[in-house]
Amino acid sequence: MEQPCSRLVILFENSLKQYQGQLGTLQFCIQLASQSAFCFP
């Protein structure tokens, strides 16, 4: 079974490629980290 965290990591990596160099990247990372906080107790 695929874990939700794995999907978030893949989504995160794909998003980094799309948003690399943009000002919204840091904000996006913080948002993603807050949503996936349960992955890192």
Q: Which tens digits make up the pLDDT trace of 2-39? A: 566 677 777 777 777 776 656 566 677 777 777 766 55
In a domain, 11, yes or no: yes
DSSP class per residue in the chain: ---HHHHHHHHHHHHHHHHTTSTHHHHHHHHHHHHTGGG--
27 within some domain: yes
Cα–Cα distance between 26 and 23 in angstroms, integer? 7
Domain count, the chain: 1
On whether residue 40 sits in a domain, the answer given is no
41 lies in some domain = no
Report the candidate in 30, 35, 28 with the shortest Cα–Cα distance to residue 7. 35
Question: Backbone phi, then psi, for 30, in 5-degree steps?
Answer: -65, -40
For residue 8, what are the domain limits? 4-35
Residues with Cβ within 8 Å of 28's Cβ and at least 6 positions away in sequence, in order, are: 15, 19
Which has the higher per-residue pLDDT, 17 or 1? 17
Q: What is the structure's pLDDT at 30?
A: 75
